[in-house]
Amino acid sequence: MGLMGFLFAPRKDHKGWSTPSEAARLYFLLVLGGSAVWAWPLTQGNILLWLGLVAFVATPLLTVGWWLISLVSQRFESRVLVDSLNRIDRSKKKSIHSFRKP
């Protein structure tokens, strides 16, 4: 699987739930970092205004970007989140953590 498959393949966690792809995770960091750098000079160092502007700008960018990433990700088969998930004994009904006392 090439770079596109690595970036856009949806990830399955230890419970089998779908989690964001690597592309979605990288996009999140890029959008937050980019909006933070862009907004800092506009807010002249006012932290609360900066946080509000970053949230205001990043929200629609993340929504549209994640939607586009999900459209691309539909072409790829899901992969496990980490390779150690391939070694889990799925024949057991209870997880390791179910034996802990509350």
- Record the pTM: 0.70
Q: Which two tokens stand for residue 7?
A: 């970036």
**According to the model, what pLDDT value does residue 48 have?**
97
Put residue 45 in one of left, alpha, beta given phi > 0 → left and psi -120 to 50 → alpha.
left
Alpha-carbon Rg of the chain, whole angstroms?
Answer: 19
In order along the chain (102 residues), what is the average pLDDT of each group of 10 residues? 74 71 90 97 95 97 93 78 56 56 54
102, 68 in Cβ contact below 8 A? no
Q: Where are the domains of the chain?
A: 21-79
